[in-house]
């Protein structure tokens, strides 16, 4: 018999029958850390891989399962969102990618002209690109508000729409990360991210709410487009005010 060091339950086997913690010696060794790392991140049935697979193929099913209480199998929505944002920012840093500079390359310019760089508007664009990890949270909250509005008959509350938003927008960020290498072949290929955000979020909303197909697509497009436009306006204007007040 074993005594759980987490809850003091006495049990037989490898895992505690009360709290589920794996048996351990009360010390931490390198082998244990390595096993935990590879078990949690590099096995096909681990929560990250299971979550990524489900969000790619059946996002609506994952979100409904998570809301209904089946939560141990998947990464939690905010956790997943932050994990993917970290991966995205790491990829951008390693590839030395800047979406604003890519925009100039797409227009046939090697870099932004000095007279343009010195404008408040351009500084705001760079500020937004640099702080995307914080600003995307704003998009999630706006997006959840409009999906709640357009899909109110589904019966989900705002917090549940937020969970859906963290999952779907987080996964969009993951998919868009794999578009970055294409921009080095042709900068214009990065525009695929706009098709991705519309296509994937529409797929997720229709899969999640299960409305009539045409109605679901139209409602999804309306929620996505209005949310995105409002998000860009809010963060762009806020960035301009921040630069004028604090950086000028």
pLDDT 10s digits, 158-193: 999 999 999 999 999 999 999 999 999 999 999 999
Q: In terms of domains, do 96 and 208 share one?
A: yes
Q: What is the pLDDT of residues 191-212, one digit of tens each?
A: 999 999 999 999 999 999 999 9
Total length of the chain? 248
Q: What is the pLDDT of residues 59-90, one digit of tens each?
A: 999 999 999 988 888 888 999 999 999 999 99
- Residue 40 in any domain: the answer is no
First vs last Cα of the chain: how many Å apart?
68
pTM tops 0.95: no
Residues whose CB falls within 8 Å of the CB of residue 183, separated by 6 or more in sequence, listed in order: 97, 102, 105, 189, 190
- Residue 3 in any domain: the answer is yes
How far from 238 is each of 126, 232, 241, 248, CA to CA, in Å?
13, 10, 5, 14
Say what the pLDDT of residue 44 is: 46
Q: In terms of domains, do 111 and 14 share one?
A: no
Q: In terms of domains, do 19 and 118 share one?
A: no
Residues whose CB falls within 8 Å of the CB of residue 239, separated by 6 or more in sequence, listed in order: 124, 125, 127, 128
As separate numbers, helices (DSSP H) first and strands (DSSP E) second, the chain gives 12, 2
Q: In terms of domains, do 194 and 88 share one?
A: yes
Residue 15 belongs to what domain range?
1-31
Q: Number of structural domains, the chain? A: 2
- Residue 47 in any domain: the answer is no
CA atoms within 13 A on the CB side of 78: 6
Is the model's pLDDT at 151 over the cut of 70? yes
């Amino acid at each position: 018999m074993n005594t759980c060091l987490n809850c003091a339950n006495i049990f037989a086997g490898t895992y505690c029958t009360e709290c589920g913690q794996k048996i351990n010696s009360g010390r931490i060794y390198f082998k244990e850390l390595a096993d935990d790392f590879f078990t949690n991140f590099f096995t096909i049935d681990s929560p990250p891989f299971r979550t990524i697979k489900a969000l790619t193929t059946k996002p609506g099913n994952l979100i409904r399962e998570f809301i209904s209480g089946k939560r141990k199998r998947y990464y939690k929505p905010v956790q997943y969102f932050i994990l993917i944002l970290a991966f995205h920012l790491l990829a951008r840093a390693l590839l030395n990618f800047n979406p604003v500079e890519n925009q100039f390359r797409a227009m046939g310019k090697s870099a932004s002209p000095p007279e343009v760089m010195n404008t408040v508007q351009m500084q705001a664009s760079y500020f937004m690109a640099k702080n995307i990890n914080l600003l995307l949270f704003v998009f999630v909250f706006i997006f959840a508000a409009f999906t709640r509005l357009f899909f109110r008959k589904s019966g989900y509350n705002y917090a549940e729409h937020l969970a859906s938003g963290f999952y779907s927008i987080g996964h969009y960020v993951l998919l868009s990360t794999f578009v970055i290498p294409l921009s080095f072949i042709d900068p214009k290929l990065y525009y695929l991210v706009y098709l991705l955000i519309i296509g994937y979020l529409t797929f997720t909303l229709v899969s999640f709410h299960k409305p009539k197909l045409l109605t679901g697509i139209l409602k999804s497009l309306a929620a996505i487009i209005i949310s995105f436009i409002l998000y860009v306006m809010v963060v762009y204007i806020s960035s301009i005010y921040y630069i004028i007040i604090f950086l000028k």
